[in-house]
Amino acid sequence: MTSNISQPYTRRLSGLERYSLVINEVYRYNIDAIAEGSGNISCEELQAAMAVAAEANPGVRVRLKSFLGFSKWVDSGIAPVIREVEAPEWDCYSERGSEFMQEGFHPLEGGPVCDGFLLQGTPVRIIFRGLHAAMDARGLQHFAKDIFRVLRGEVPIGSHSTLTDLDVTSKFKDRIKDVPPPAVCLPVLPPSSGNFEKLRYVWRRAIVNKNDRNMLPKMAVFLARHARKENQTSQPDQADEVKVGFTIPVDLRGLREDVATTANMTGYMRIYVAPEDTPRAIMQQINQNVRNHVDCALPGILRLLQWVPLSYMIKKMRQGIGQALYQTNKGLPSGGIVSMGMFKPEDFSCPQFKAATCVGIPGSVGKMNVVIMNYTDHIEVVFSTPEAFNMEGQLDRMIDEFGAFMKA
């Protein structure tokens, strides 16, 4: 189903997107991508290119028109705004010094779902951000590539599909089988004790100095081993009995539907890592889940949530956030692992800017999230977790262990 592009772009709000709106009010549910490089590009040049690319991808210009199950995204005709900021103390290896990145989106107040920042210096950094309730990482990547196509004098590919993730996954409902049930999962890192009324996330960037196409299953094995080791100390009665599980997002484009879209076109599966599992075993588990169409098995409650007021859901999530984050339960897995596949710096380059690498910052949600981006000669990895899981340096120590794990 494709919209008539002579009419204003409109897309129904799916149940998953509606739930993501609730998450965004409690956490800060963004997708952040950073291109690092060199050049002499101006904010005015970027803004002009962004406007042309947004005309070709109206899904990045939408605003929320909300009324229960009739809610929809509607093209506002207003291009995302890119702003030039200064952050001289920020090295792009953690959140420290990047206070401007803490600014969230406010869709329930009629705000935009996409924006950007330009930081001049050495290196030059161009940041694109999207609201996860309106787009996913592939959607933001598609839009960013179109911006650089415009800057190179090329025609943007564009996207006008009005399909939702539910439209796609519903086609495969009769093929879904053997969906792993939610299980109580150990956290990768033990939380510090204390009262964490203000929810704040920290992140750390690590670079692997070679490419490895099996980074996702290796990451799952590393995080699972770390979780069991850490919990042997903090929760010895649970370390051997409670599972370690991760959410793996699956891009529905191409796999389930031949469609170009900036929308939230993502399915999800949960995998579990046993103490004896190897990366090969994890990859076999993922492939079997794909064959079983597990990524199309959205919880039935998402359909019901279409008719629950957002204000009520936000209130209930805020009340339960402490238990969800800092205690073992079926609600949240040990973490999430996002593999973005191969990246080419030239896709994010133009005469005014030559990209050296791109970095993805995980969404500020859940107990632990990891984003992996592969290049021909290295891998960018970013880990994100609530501040409570690093008050005593837990995350920083794990990053050191990750480096040793990859060398071994």
Residue 5 counted as domain residue: no
Closest CA to 126 of 143, 103, 144: 144
Residue 408, both tokens: 């071994």
Token pair 């911006």: residue? 147
Q: Give the residue numbers spanning the domain of 130.
A: 10-407
* Span 295-319, average pLDDT: 86
Residue 119 counted as domain residue: yes
pLDDT in tens, 66-110: 888 899 999 999 999 999 999 999 999 999 999 999 999 999 999
DSSP helix/strand/coil, 7: coil
Give the whole-angstrom CA distance, residue 84 versus residue 43: 6
- For the chain, what is the radius of gyration of the CA atoms? 21
Whether residue 2 contacts residue 338, with contact meaning beta carbons closer than 8 Å, is answered with: no
> The whole model's pTM is what?
0.94
Could you tell me the CATH number of the domain that includes residue 24?
Answer: 3.30.559.10
Q: Report the pLDDT value the prediction gives residue 182, as an integer from 0 to 100.
A: 86
Residue 4 counted as domain residue: no
Residue 387 counted as domain residue: yes
pLDDT in tens, 349-365: 999 999 999 999 998 88
Residue 2 counted as domain residue: no
Instruction: State yes or no: pLDDT of 337 exceeds 90.
Output: yes
Give the whole-angstrom CA distance, residue 16 versus residue 247: 15
Closest CA to 159 of 54, 292, 255: 54
Residue 326, both tokens: 């800092």
Residue 57 counted as domain residue: yes
Q: Report the pLDDT value the prediction gives residue 120, as an integer from 0 to 100.
A: 97
Residue 27 counted as domain residue: yes
Give the whole-angstrom CA distance, residue 329 versus residue 190: 14
How many domains does the structure of the chain reveal?
1
pLDDT in tens, 387-406: 999 999 999 999 999 999 98
